[in-house]
Chain A
């Protein structure tokens, strides 16, 4: 095997270790510079992955086929790296709210990132489990990093227990698959797919694996944790959960479904149709009465998981392309929103803290507004085009089966409901009674640049989708339908 295949992951892990070591010789007041170091390092790796690393053509496998480096993996790794840069920069902004261990905070974020990157390359059920645990364990620590805040600890405990439960389902599923097929490698399992599809135990195993993954993407019925954990976790960690963890969950769902078990996927359209519809409705309906912004985003994250499931439920290549495209736009949209929350929602994340934001900082008000508009799916921003692709993919399937038409209608109803709370946020920014706190908000230069990049990316994805679209189309060639 070619060790260069692992270069991105190794670089990230190396960077994590370097940050951990340099932390030992860094004075407390300079610790935040470790964040800049980590961000700069990740940026270099991201640029390297865009320019130098292999294109994933042809797909290379290693570790007896456990690890695969193909277009799909690279597409997601780039999203993770970009999200990593933004999250680390948010972490720097957040430093005054992390009493101790700032260096470790960055290190664990980097390790978490490495876990996500391994997930993107997973080609074996064992690899799936390892990558999932690498992510989960990191998140246990990150979510409860503000040890003095009971919210943070409560969220950490909830995540730990529920995640452990779902990991139990996952590993039980893997055991059943191994028991029925004798193999854990995706390619090998897929080769015997038609025979195994008749086996109820194998189906049970596959379902349990999917349920385990559904926890990561916070889809019904494994969605309960999201609002509580999103609310309690430190804001940069919430951002990483929403962007990275969800994307990692989806890449695993795509791989399990369309690489390991394409034969089963054909019969499970109904499962995903129901899951998508219920997730959309649950997320959007529960978000209506929310006043806590991070909780609101938790429900919004559930609703968005539902939208993305539309692409999975379509069971066709355009659907998967739409999933990839939507996740790319979603990453930048959420990043910009969480950067604003990092700066604005310091003591409380009640929607009232947004009062008068347009006077306190027009830039933040604009960024938040654009973010919300993109989430609501209004042209010309990224969210609109992503939703358009998803809906198109579902409507293409409507010709095959009528239930897809209903699914599209439910999704549209969900979008309409979501306008209410997304625009509620915009209204709070511009039209609410002025709050007691009206001092201008200082925004550091790196965050300004980050927001600029995110906004530019939102417009770019919404207006000139061709480049990313063709990259996504190439990436899904790794899947079989």
Chain B
């Protein structure tokens, strides 16, 4: 491929976003076609890049973007196994979701704006993927934050959507501040912003960062905590479900939230073993907390959102176990099946006139067969049932946990059990059992433009474990490792039989528990049995309340105190204003409109001037 074609991967979506925004606002069909076309073209070009990479000819393109003194900032396109894989995920899953949106968003008054923003997001995300330095990555990191803000708040007329967009943006800012400080520290020590340059220096002198090593790593991890919604900044992701469902699928399941994990893999060389321990525990805690919360949610998209949090926790945990290939593997399979689940949920929501409460659904199996079967595939893949894709990637992580940290391994198995439990709770309530509202009677299968993407993603979820993703990515992180066989269906059971078998057991227990409680249930039986526990879970461990209180104490209360000074100032301003205004009103009285008065005042004024000028 010629060099300009590589640039097109990145800039086609931006071009689409600009053209739609500037010229096509009134042409919804054209804008959809343009946006879908751009992301599809990017996908095809990414496949070309993959072919080049397998040939060993992938180029490394870098232009000088800024030059400030000795600081040189590049704008680059960096292609290696990691970025090639991520490019395919972003453009591939992105294409499918774009196509699905054509059907899902039909009839929305701001159809064109939706596609413009989706294209802007794709551009920003691709920018992160191909970055070869921290500066470029941070710029696109923020652009991703912006487009996420725009898309969450797409229906900005709803106060809840506007609030959710704000919450997502501000929470991300918290993480980004740490990220930025980390980048600046790393630059201050190494004098370069490029990943390759930093890695070289660290290889030459592992003690380069000296005592700051752990701090720098943790600060950079902060960025991932924000973007990938890890504990304690996880609160924004469930609220982000206020956006349209394709947005939830693309941004808040498949790609953007994975950017944090991708970034951790990209700069893996910078983390010390202390950092990695923290990263693993943060991931583990996130996985457990959100899996627990998901058990007691009633909104179909929120359940999936907490499930996403929990799976992101797995990925981050994998990075913490020094197993970036496992993290990337799970990132990829998760992109397939979680996008599938979200789009399936979107199909259900679409059929039930925007109803999202699972307790208003039921027996959709017969009404929406295609959605039912694909959703089942996604659920099983997410639970990690062998031989679906999730089994391979999750077992890779659990195997790494078994090697590194037995406590986190137990935690991981517990999460696997919970995952199966809440997913089948959802599945039984939505698709089986009795219809729980009249809406179900009117439900019908979604149009083909929405079901074909489901089928495609279901296929990917099923065979994702056999695509050779680990084999493709492992050499980048451990070049010395033996070449793995591409097709190895029994590989999990061979490398780490304990993890794999315990995983299967967790799935079985989870399924049975879900069946016992929820098959045919009219309402949730759990709150009746464990009232306090369920209450805590329903309130998401009171994180939102805690943060609201924290903001109140740290910000609102001091602000109110400072406002008192402001009132004083305001009085001063009012006083000045009042003086001027009343002087004006009084002076105006002089201006009576009476000619005699004017003449008198004029003569008196003239006399005064003469008196003062001539007698002194």
- Which A residues form the contact surface with B (CB < 8 A)? 157-158, 161-162, 165-166, 169, 200, 203-204, 207-208, 211, 220-222, 224-225, 227-228, 268, 271, 282, 284-289, 417, 420
Once the chains are docked, how many angstroms separate the CA of A157 from the CA of B609?
26
Q: Which of B581, B585, B590, B599 contacts A161 (CB 8 A)?
A: B599
Tell me how far the C-beta of B400 lies from the nearest C-beta in chain A, rounded to whole angstroms. Answer: 63
Q: Which of A204, A220, A285, A289 contacts B610 (CB 8 A)?
A: A204
Contact A222 B610 (CB under 8 A): no
Is B593 an interface position by the 8 A CB rule? yes
Q: Which of B581, B583, B608 contacts A221 (CB 8 A)?
A: B608
Contact A203 B613 (CB under 8 A): yes
Once the chains are docked, how many angstroms separate the CA of A282 from the CA of B605?
14
Q: What residues of A have a CB within 8 angstroms of the CB of B593 in the complex?
A: 228
Known: A224-B591, A228-B593. 8 other contacts (CB 8 A): A158-B595, A161-B599, A162-B598, A162-B599, A165-B603, A207-B614, A221-B605, A286-B588
Q: What residues of A have a CB within 8 angstroms of the CB of B486 in the complex?
A: none
Contact B587 A161 (CB under 8 A): no
Is B567 an interface position by the 8 A CB rule? no
Is B278 an interface position by the 8 A CB rule? no
Q: What residues of B have a CB within 8 angstroms of the CB of A169 in the complex?
A: 606
Contact B584 A221 (CB under 8 A): no
Tell me how far the C-beta of B613 lies from the nearest C-beta in chain A, rounded to whole angstroms. Answer: 6
Q: Which of B583, B585, B601, B609 contacts A224 (CB 8 A)?
A: B601
Once the chains are docked, how many angstroms separate the CA of A197 from the CA of B591?
36
Q: What residues of A have a CB within 8 angstroms of the CB of B603 in the complex?
A: 165
* Interface residues contributed by chain B, number (CB under 8 Å): 24
> Which DSSP category, helix, strand, loop or mixed, fits chain A's interface?
helix
Contact A221 B602 (CB under 8 A): yes
Contact B581 A289 (CB under 8 A): yes
Contact A268 B613 (CB under 8 A): yes
Once the chains are docked, how many angstroms separate the CA of A284 from the CA of B579?
13
Q: What are the 9 tightest A-B residue pairs by CB atom distance, in nearest-first order?
A: A221-B605, A288-B584, A285-B584, A224-B598, A285-B583, A286-B587, A211-B606, A289-B585, A286-B588
Once the chains are docked, how many angstroms separate the CA of A286 from the CA of B585?
7
Contact B595 A207 (CB under 8 A): no
Once the chains are docked, how many angstroms separate the CA of A420 from the CA of B602?
28
Once the chains are docked, how many angstroms separate the CA of A314 from the CA of B609?
19
Once the chains are docked, how many angstroms separate the CA of A208 from the CA of B605?
12
Q: Which of A162, A200, A271, A284 contacts B609 (CB 8 A)?
A: A271
Q: What residues of A have a CB within 8 angstroms of the CB of B608 in the complex?
A: 221
Is B68 an interface position by the 8 A CB rule? no
Instruction: List 23 A–B pairs whose Cβ atoms lie within 8 Å, in order of A's numbering.
Output: A157-B595, A158-B598, A161-B599, A162-B598, A169-B606, A200-B614, A203-B613, A208-B610, A221-B604, A221-B608, A221-B609, A222-B605, A222-B606, A225-B598, A282-B587, A285-B580, A285-B583, A287-B584, A288-B580, A288-B584, A288-B585, A289-B581, A289-B584
Q: What residues of A have a CB within 8 angstroms of the CB of B606 in the complex?
A: 169, 208, 211, 221-222
Once the chains are docked, how many angstroms separate the CA of A221 from the CA of B595?
15
- Residue of A whose beta carbon sits closest to that of B600: A224
From B583, B585, B587, B591, name the one whose CB has the most chain A CB atoms within 10 angstroms.
B591
Tell me how far the C-beta of B368 lies from the nearest C-beta in chain A, rounded to whole angstroms. Answer: 50
From A200, A208, A284, A285, name the one whose CB has the most chain B CB atoms within 10 angstroms.
A285
Tell me how far the C-beta of A204 lies from the nearest C-beta in chain B, rounded to whole angstroms. Answer: 6
Once the chains are docked, how many angstroms separate the CA of A417 from the CA of B590?
20
Q: What residues of B have a CB within 8 angstroms of the CB of A289 in the complex?
A: 581, 584-585, 588
Q: What residues of B have a CB within 8 angstroms of the CB of A282 in the complex?
A: 587
Once the chains are docked, how many angstroms separate the CA of A166 from the CA of B606?
10
- Which B residues form the contact surface with A (CB < 8 A)? 580-581, 583-585, 587-588, 590-591, 593, 595, 598-599, 601-606, 608-610, 613-614
Contact A207 B599 (CB under 8 A): no
- Residue of B whose beta carbon sits closest to that of A227: B591
Once the chains are docked, how many angstroms separate the CA of A207 from the CA of B603?
13
- Residue of A whose beta carbon sits closest to that of B601: A224
- Residue of A whose beta carbon sits closest to that of B604: A221
Q: What residues of B have a CB within 8 angstroms of the CB of A200 in the complex?
A: 614
- Residue of B whose beta carbon sits closest to that of A226: B591
Contact B581 A288 (CB under 8 A): yes
Once the chains are docked, how many angstroms separate the CA of A200 from the CA of B614?
7
- Residue of B whose beta carbon sits closest to that of A160: B595
Q: What residues of B have a CB within 8 angstroms of the CB of A161 in the complex?
A: 595, 599
Once the chains are docked, how many angstroms separate the CA of A277 from the CA of B583?
15
Q: What residues of B have a CB within 8 angstroms of the CB of A221 in the complex?
A: 601-602, 604-606, 608-609
Q: What residues of A have a CB within 8 angstroms of the CB of B599 in the complex?
A: 161-162, 165
Once the chains are docked, how many angstroms separate the CA of A224 from the CA of B605?
10
Tell me how far the C-beta of A207 lies from the nearest C-beta in chain B, rounded to whole angstroms. Answer: 6
Tell me how far the C-beta of A153 lies from the nearest C-beta in chain B, rounded to whole angstroms. Answer: 12
Q: What residues of A have a CB within 8 angstroms of the CB of B590 in the complex?
A: 224
Once the chains are docked, how many angstroms separate the CA of A286 from the CA of B608?
22
Tell me how far the C-beta of A226 lies from the nearest C-beta in chain B, rounded to whole angstroms. Answer: 10
Tell me how far the C-beta of A163 lies from the nearest C-beta in chain B, rounded to whole angstroms. Answer: 11
Once the chains are docked, how many angstroms separate the CA of A271 from the CA of B601?
18
Tell me how far the C-beta of B502 lies from the nearest C-beta in chain A, rounded to whole angstroms. Answer: 68
- Residue of B whose beta carbon sits closest to that of A413: B580
Once the chains are docked, how many angstroms separate the CA of A138 from the CA of B491?
106
- Residue of A whose beta carbon sits closest to that of B603: A165
Contact A207 B605 (CB under 8 A): no
Once the chains are docked, how many angstroms separate the CA of A426 from the CA of B14?
38
Q: What residues of A have a CB within 8 angstroms of the CB of B610 in the complex?
A: 204, 207-208
Contact A220 B605 (CB under 8 A): yes
Q: What residues of A have a CB within 8 angstroms of the CB of B614 in the complex?
A: 200, 203-204, 207
Q: What residues of B have a CB within 8 angstroms of the CB of A203 in the complex?
A: 613-614
Q: What residues of B have a CB within 8 angstroms of the CB of A158 in the complex?
A: 595, 598
Tell me how far the C-beta of B596 lies from the nearest C-beta in chain A, rounded to whole angstroms. Answer: 10
Once the chains are docked, how many angstroms separate the CA of A420 from the CA of B577?
10
Q: What residues of A have a CB within 8 angstroms of the CB of B588 in the complex?
A: 286, 289
Tell me how far the C-beta of A44 lies from the nearest C-beta in chain B, rounded to whole angstroms. Answer: 41
Contact B613 A271 (CB under 8 A): yes
Q: What residues of A have a CB within 8 angstroms of the CB of B602 in the complex?
A: 162, 165-166, 221-222, 224
Contact B580 A207 (CB under 8 A): no
Q: What residues of B have a CB within 8 angstroms of the CB of A285 in the complex?
A: 580, 583-584, 587
Tell me how far the C-beta of B244 lies from the nearest C-beta in chain A, rounded to whole angstroms. Answer: 34
Contact B585 A211 (CB under 8 A): no
Once the chains are docked, how many angstroms separate the CA of A289 from the CA of B577?
12
Tell me how far the C-beta of B309 lies from the nearest C-beta in chain A, rounded to whole angstroms. Answer: 46
Tell me how far the C-beta of B574 lies from the nearest C-beta in chain A, rounded to whole angstroms. Answer: 13
Once the chains are docked, how many angstroms separate the CA of A285 from the CA of B586?
9
Tell me how far the C-beta of A275 lies from the nearest C-beta in chain B, rounded to whole angstroms. Answer: 8
Q: What residues of A have a CB within 8 angstroms of the CB of B581 in the complex?
A: 288-289
Tell me how far the C-beta of A215 lies from the nearest C-beta in chain B, rounded to whole angstroms. Answer: 8
Q: What residues of A have a CB within 8 angstroms of the CB of B580 in the complex?
A: 285, 288, 417, 420
Tell me how far the C-beta of B451 lies from the nearest C-beta in chain A, rounded to whole angstroms. Answer: 48
Tell me how far the C-beta of B587 lies from the nearest C-beta in chain A, rounded to whole angstroms. Answer: 5
Q: What residues of B have a CB within 8 angstroms of the CB of A287 in the complex?
A: 584
Once the chains are docked, how many angstroms separate the CA of A161 from the CA of B603?
12
Q: What residues of B have a CB within 8 angstroms of the CB of A227 in the complex?
A: 591
- Residue of A whose beta carbon sits closest to that of B608: A221
Once the chains are docked, how many angstroms separate the CA of A268 from the CA of B580?
29
Q: What residues of B have a CB within 8 angstroms of the CB of A224 in the complex?
A: 590-591, 598, 601-602
Q: What residues of A have a CB within 8 angstroms of the CB of B595 in the complex?
A: 157-158, 161-162
Once the chains are docked, how many angstroms separate the CA of A282 from the CA of B601?
14
Once the chains are docked, how many angstroms separate the CA of A73 from the CA of B36?
70
Once the chains are docked, how many angstroms separate the CA of A150 from the CA of B540?
77
Q: What residues of A have a CB within 8 angstroms of the CB of B585 in the complex?
A: 288-289
Once the chains are docked, how many angstroms separate the CA of A271 from the CA of B599?
22
Contact B609 A211 (CB under 8 A): yes
- Residue of A whose beta carbon sits closest to that of B577: A420
Once the chains are docked, how many angstroms separate the CA of A271 from the CA of B581?
27
Tell me how far the C-beta of A130 lies from the nearest C-beta in chain B, rounded to whole angstroms. Answer: 22
Once the chains are docked, how many angstroms separate the CA of A380 from the CA of B365?
68
Tell me how far the C-beta of A244 lies from the nearest C-beta in chain B, rounded to whole angstroms. Answer: 22
